[in-house]
A = this chain, B = another copy of it.
Protein backbone atom coordinates (compact mmCIF):
# COMPACT_ATOMS: atom_id res chain seq x y z
CA UNK A 1 0.00 0.00 0.00
CA UNK A 2 2.90 2.30 0.71
CA UNK A 3 4.56 1.68 -2.61
CA UNK A 4 2.72 4.13 -4.82
CA UNK A 5 3.28 7.79 -4.99
CA UNK A 6 6.92 7.85 -4.01
CA UNK A 7 9.09 10.36 -5.85
CA UNK A 8 12.83 10.43 -5.28
CA UNK A 9 14.12 13.93 -4.76
CA UNK A 10 17.03 15.82 -3.33
CA UNK A 11 16.44 18.68 -0.95
CA UNK A 12 16.07 22.09 -2.56
CA UNK A 13 18.95 24.06 -1.07
CA UNK A 14 19.10 27.84 -0.87
CA UNK A 15 21.93 30.05 0.35
CA UNK A 16 21.77 30.86 4.08
CA UNK A 17 21.26 34.56 3.39
CA UNK A 18 18.17 33.88 1.27
CA UNK A 19 16.72 31.70 4.02
CA UNK A 20 17.46 34.40 6.59
CA UNK A 21 15.90 37.08 4.37
CA UNK A 22 12.74 34.96 4.10
CA UNK A 23 12.77 34.49 7.88
CA UNK A 24 13.15 38.24 8.37
CA UNK A 25 10.28 38.95 5.98
CA UNK A 26 8.05 36.63 7.99
CA UNK A 27 9.13 38.17 11.29
CA UNK A 28 8.53 41.75 10.08
CA UNK A 29 5.08 40.75 8.88
CA UNK A 30 4.32 39.04 12.18
CA UNK A 31 5.32 42.11 14.18
CA UNK A 32 3.28 44.43 11.96
CA UNK A 33 0.32 42.11 12.28
CA UNK A 34 0.65 42.05 16.08
CA UNK A 35 0.88 45.83 16.16
CA UNK A 36 -2.78 46.08 15.17
CA UNK A 37 -3.75 44.78 18.60
CA UNK A 38 -2.60 47.64 20.78
CA UNK A 39 -5.23 46.98 23.41
CA UNK A 40 -3.61 43.63 24.22
CA UNK A 41 -0.53 45.14 25.86
CA UNK A 42 1.95 42.85 24.12
CA UNK A 43 5.43 43.64 25.46
CA UNK A 44 8.78 43.55 23.66
CA UNK A 45 9.26 39.87 24.44
CA UNK A 46 5.81 39.13 23.05
CA UNK A 47 6.79 40.89 19.82
CA UNK A 48 10.02 38.86 19.71
CA UNK A 49 8.10 35.60 20.22
CA UNK A 50 5.70 36.50 17.42
CA UNK A 51 8.72 37.25 15.23
CA UNK A 52 10.37 33.91 15.96
CA UNK A 53 7.14 31.99 15.45
CA UNK A 54 6.14 33.76 12.24
CA UNK A 55 9.70 33.74 10.93
CA UNK A 56 10.58 30.08 11.32
CA UNK A 57 7.66 28.42 13.08
CA UNK A 58 6.65 26.69 9.85
CA UNK A 59 10.13 25.24 9.45
CA UNK A 60 10.09 24.10 13.08
CA UNK A 61 6.79 22.26 12.58
CA UNK A 62 8.21 20.72 9.38
CA UNK A 63 11.29 19.41 11.20
CA UNK A 64 9.29 18.19 14.20
CA UNK A 65 7.07 16.17 11.85
CA UNK A 66 10.14 14.85 10.00
CA UNK A 67 11.63 13.90 13.40
CA UNK A 68 14.70 16.12 13.14
CA UNK A 69 16.19 18.85 15.30
CA UNK A 70 14.82 22.07 13.73
CA UNK A 71 17.29 23.53 11.24
CA UNK A 72 16.68 26.97 12.74
CA UNK A 73 18.14 25.75 16.04
CA UNK A 74 21.36 24.51 14.48
CA UNK A 75 22.67 27.98 13.75
CA UNK A 76 22.81 31.15 15.80
CA UNK A 77 21.45 33.28 12.98
CA UNK A 78 17.75 32.43 12.73
CA UNK A 79 16.76 33.50 16.24
CA UNK A 80 18.86 36.66 16.09
CA UNK A 81 17.50 37.64 12.67
CA UNK A 82 13.89 36.82 13.55
CA UNK A 83 13.83 38.73 16.84
CA UNK A 84 15.79 41.64 15.35
CA UNK A 85 13.47 41.85 12.35
CA UNK A 86 10.40 41.66 14.59
CA UNK A 87 11.59 44.55 16.78
CA UNK A 88 12.47 46.54 13.66
CA UNK A 89 9.05 45.76 12.21
CA UNK A 90 7.49 47.04 15.43
CA UNK A 91 9.55 50.24 15.60
CA UNK A 92 9.30 51.09 11.91
CA UNK A 93 5.76 49.92 11.30
CA UNK A 94 4.76 53.28 9.83
CA UNK A 95 7.62 53.07 7.35
CA UNK A 96 6.89 49.44 6.54
CA UNK A 97 3.19 50.02 6.02
CA UNK A 98 4.03 52.68 3.44
CA UNK A 99 5.98 50.02 1.54
CA UNK A 100 3.31 47.43 2.20
CA UNK A 101 3.34 46.24 -1.39
CA UNK A 102 7.02 45.32 -1.00
CA UNK A 103 6.23 43.39 2.18
CA UNK A 104 3.40 41.50 0.50
CA UNK A 105 5.71 40.54 -2.40
CA UNK A 106 8.53 39.49 -0.06
CA UNK A 107 6.06 37.48 1.98
CA UNK A 108 4.74 35.72 -1.14
CA UNK A 109 8.29 34.80 -2.16
CA UNK A 110 8.98 33.51 1.38
CA UNK A 111 5.81 31.42 1.17
CA UNK A 112 7.16 29.82 -2.00
CA UNK A 113 10.64 29.28 -0.56
CA UNK A 114 9.40 27.64 2.64
CA UNK A 115 7.07 25.48 0.57
CA UNK A 116 9.80 24.34 -1.87
CA UNK A 117 12.21 23.56 0.98
CA UNK A 118 9.51 21.71 2.91
CA UNK A 119 8.19 19.50 0.14
CA UNK A 120 11.66 18.64 -1.20
CA UNK A 121 12.97 17.86 2.30
CA UNK A 122 10.03 15.54 2.93
CA UNK A 123 10.55 13.75 -0.41
CA UNK A 124 14.28 13.50 0.25
CA UNK A 125 13.77 11.62 3.53
CA UNK A 126 11.51 9.17 1.70
CA UNK A 127 7.98 10.29 2.54
CA UNK A 128 5.35 9.51 -0.12
CA UNK A 129 3.93 12.28 -2.30
CA UNK A 130 0.77 13.22 -0.39
CA UNK A 131 2.42 13.67 3.02
CA UNK A 132 5.25 15.56 1.30
CA UNK A 133 2.75 18.03 -0.15
CA UNK A 134 1.26 18.29 3.34
CA UNK A 135 4.67 19.02 4.88
CA UNK A 136 5.34 21.66 2.20
CA UNK A 137 2.10 23.47 2.98
CA UNK A 138 2.62 23.17 6.76
CA UNK A 139 6.13 24.61 6.36
CA UNK A 140 4.71 27.49 4.34
CA UNK A 141 1.67 28.41 6.46
CA UNK A 142 2.47 26.85 9.87
CA UNK A 143 4.22 29.94 11.18
CA UNK A 144 1.16 32.07 10.56
CA UNK A 145 -1.07 29.46 12.20
CA UNK A 146 1.12 29.38 15.32
CA UNK A 147 1.10 33.19 15.35
CA UNK A 148 -2.70 33.22 15.38
CA UNK A 149 -2.89 30.57 18.12
CA UNK A 150 -0.44 32.52 20.31
CA UNK A 151 -2.35 35.76 19.76
CA UNK A 152 -5.67 34.02 20.47
CA UNK A 153 -7.07 34.97 17.07
CA UNK A 154 -9.09 32.94 14.54
CA UNK A 155 -6.57 31.14 12.35
CA UNK A 156 -6.28 33.11 9.13
CA UNK A 157 -5.64 30.28 6.66
CA UNK A 158 -8.70 28.33 7.86
CA UNK A 159 -11.12 31.14 7.09
CA UNK A 160 -12.39 32.80 3.94
CA UNK A 161 -9.68 35.16 2.68
CA UNK A 162 -7.10 35.52 -0.07
CA UNK A 163 -5.57 32.20 -1.15
CA UNK A 164 -2.46 31.48 0.84
CA UNK A 165 -2.20 27.79 1.67
CA UNK A 166 -3.69 26.98 -1.73
CA UNK A 167 -0.93 28.92 -3.47
CA UNK A 168 1.61 26.85 -1.54
CA UNK A 169 -0.28 23.66 -2.35
CA UNK A 170 -0.23 24.34 -6.10
CA UNK A 171 3.45 25.27 -5.93
CA UNK A 172 4.17 22.05 -4.05
CA UNK A 173 2.28 20.05 -6.69
CA UNK A 174 4.38 21.73 -9.36
CA UNK A 175 7.59 20.71 -7.59
CA UNK A 176 6.45 17.11 -7.25
CA UNK A 177 5.31 16.95 -10.88
CA UNK A 178 8.51 18.50 -12.19
CA UNK A 179 10.67 16.20 -10.05
CA UNK A 180 8.72 13.11 -11.09
CA UNK A 181 9.27 14.18 -14.72
CA UNK A 182 12.98 14.18 -14.09
CA UNK A 183 13.60 17.89 -13.65
CA UNK A 184 16.59 18.98 -11.63
CA UNK A 185 15.66 19.95 -8.06
CA UNK A 186 16.95 23.50 -8.53
CA UNK A 187 14.70 23.99 -11.54
CA UNK A 188 11.75 22.33 -9.82
CA UNK A 189 12.30 24.36 -6.65
CA UNK A 190 12.56 27.70 -8.44
CA UNK A 191 9.46 26.79 -10.44
CA UNK A 192 7.62 26.05 -7.18
CA UNK A 193 8.62 29.43 -5.76
CA UNK A 194 7.46 31.23 -8.91
CA UNK A 195 4.14 29.37 -9.11
CA UNK A 196 3.38 29.95 -5.42
CA UNK A 197 4.35 33.62 -5.54
CA UNK A 198 2.34 34.37 -8.68
CA UNK A 199 -0.82 32.64 -7.41
CA UNK A 200 -0.54 34.37 -4.05
CA UNK A 201 -0.07 37.81 -5.63
CA UNK A 202 -2.89 37.31 -8.13
CA UNK A 203 -5.14 36.20 -5.25
CA UNK A 204 -4.31 39.36 -3.31
CA UNK A 205 -4.81 41.53 -6.42
CA UNK A 206 -8.11 39.99 -7.53
CA UNK A 207 -9.47 38.89 -4.14
CA UNK A 208 -9.60 35.19 -5.02
CA UNK A 209 -10.78 32.99 -2.19
CA UNK A 210 -12.02 29.48 -1.46
CA UNK A 211 -15.76 28.93 -0.92
CA UNK A 212 -17.09 29.00 2.63
CA UNK A 213 -18.16 25.72 4.25
CA UNK A 214 -21.71 24.70 3.38
CA UNK A 215 -23.99 21.70 3.35
CA UNK A 216 -25.78 20.17 0.37
5 tightest Cβ-Cβ pairs between the two chains A and B: A46-B158, A73-B131, A76-B130, A43-B210, A41-B160
A67 in contact with B68 given A74-B127, A91-B215, A215-B90 (CB within 8 Å): yes
A213 in contact with B158 given A67-B68, A69-B67, A131-B79 (CB within 8 Å): no
Whether A74 lies near B131 (C-beta < 8 A) is yes
Whether B44 lies near A129 (C-beta < 8 A) is no
Whether A159 lies near B76 (C-beta < 8 A) is no
Pull 17 A–B residue pairs with CB atoms less than 8 Å apart, ordered by A: A1-B77, A2-B76, A41-B212, A42-B212, A43-B160, A43-B161, A49-B158, A65-B70, A67-B68, A69-B125, A73-B135, A76-B129, A78-B131, A90-B215, A91-B216, A94-B216, A149-B149
A206 part of interface (Cβ distance < 8 Å): no
A106 CB, nearest partner CB in chain B, Å? 20
Contacts of A72 in B (CB 8 A): 131
The residues of A with any CB-CB pair to B shorter than 8 Å are: 1-2, 4-5, 16, 34-35, 38, 40-47, 49-50, 52, 60, 64-70, 72-80, 90-94, 125, 127-131, 134-135, 145, 149-150, 152-155, 157-161, 165-166, 209-216
Whether A43 lies near B134 (C-beta < 8 A) is no
Whether A40 lies near B75 (C-beta < 8 A) is no
Residue among B73, B76, B79, B150 making CB contact with A158, cutoff 8 Å: B150
CA distance A41 to B146 in the complex (A): 19
CA distance A43 to B155 in the complex (A): 11
Whether A134 lies near B73 (C-beta < 8 A) is yes
A82 CB, nearest partner CB in chain B, Å? 10
Contacts of A46 in B (CB 8 A): 155, 157-159, 213
Whether B135 lies near A213 (C-beta < 8 A) is no
A53 CB, nearest partner CB in chain B, Å? 10
